[in-house]
């Protein structure tokens, strides 16, 4: 039987393996460089390139199985935690909405009664509740929106001042602002310290609240609304007197 190796003689293309060159320089350097780096690469390349599957030659990788199992648990926990946070955010959002509705209803009752004597004057009080409002809180240099925030809002206003109720997350802030600046929303509100801040917590027993930064009476939501309404009217009277 013919020797198959003869077919790879001079002038015959033979079998070419990518990365292995069959030029004369290999033969010239065969003896001089047999133990050199080039010889090592030449011997290693065909074995790697001709291997059908590296995984067949790999020993059992128990650490990789453990890593995969641990990662699956991690990803499942991440999804579960994210879902739980989303549920809690929605519960808080509904709690804030209920509290602001309650506060506005209370203040609106004071407003209707007070306007019996203040209608048509500088002390006349009007009220609006906007619900959830999303606003741009930061722009880039091209005046494109980079960040937004959503708040629940309600407002009572005289000709000069506005009492702003702003809720987000688990907190409700109360601001007294010049009516001309109130439309700037949180951009201008951040420049004023709140008259009061309350925190809510939604539980199985309903919605609980507590004052965390209050400069007015706050034994109950009604007393808090009473103090805030009085301050709105008093500050308006003072401004009118100084005109």
DSSP of 129-184, one letter per residue?
A: EEEEEEEEEEE-TTS-EEEEEEEEEEEEE-SSEEEEEEEETTEEEEEEEETTTGGG
Q: Give the pLDDT of residue 154.
A: 92
- Average pLDDT value for residue range 37-62: 49
Domain locations in the chain as residue ranges: 93-241
Q: Give the pLDDT of residue 158.
A: 93
pLDDT digits (tens, 9 = 90+) for 205-239: 788 888 887 776 678 889 999 999 999 999 999 99
- Average pLDDT value for residue range 114-127: 93
Torsion, Cα 42 47 49 55, to 10 degrees, reads: -140
Of 50-54, 81-85, 109-113, 167-171, the least confident: 50-54
Task: Please count the CA atoms within 13 angstroms of the CA of 143 that sit on its side-chain side.
Answer: 0
Cβ atoms 153, 177 nearer than 8 A? no
pLDDT surpassing 80 at residue 163: yes
């Amino acid at each position: 039987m013919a020797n198959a190796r003869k077919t790879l003689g001079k002038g015959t293309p033979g079998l070419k393996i990518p990365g292995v060159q069959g030029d004369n320089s290999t033969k010239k350097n065969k003896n001089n460089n047999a133990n050199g780096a080039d010889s090592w690469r030449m011997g290693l390349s065909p074995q790697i390139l001709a291997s059908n599957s590296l995984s067949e030659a790999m020993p059992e990788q128990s650490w990789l199985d453990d890593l995969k199992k641990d990662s699956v648990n991690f990803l499942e926990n991440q999804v579960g935690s994210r879902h739980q946070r989303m549920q809690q955010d929605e519960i808080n959002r509904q709690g804030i909405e209920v509290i602001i509705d309650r506060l506005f209803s209370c203040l609106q009752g004071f407003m209707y009664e007070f306007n019996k004597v203040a209608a048509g004057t500088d002390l006349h009080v009007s009220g609006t509740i906007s619900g959830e409002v999303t606003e741009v809180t930061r722009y880039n240099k091209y005046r494109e929106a980079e960040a937004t925030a959503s708040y629940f809002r309600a407002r009572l206003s005289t000709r000069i001042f506005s009492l702003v109720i702003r809720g987000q997350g688990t907190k409700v802030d109360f601001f007294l602002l010049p009516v001309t600046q109130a439309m700037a929303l949180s951009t201008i509100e951040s420049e004023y310290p709140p008259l009061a801040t309350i925190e809510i917590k939604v539980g199985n027993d309903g919605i609980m609240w507590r004052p965390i930064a209050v400069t007015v009476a706050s034994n109950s939501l009604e007393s808090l609304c009473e103090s805030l309404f009085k301050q709105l009217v008093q500050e308006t009277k003072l401004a009118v007197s100084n005109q």
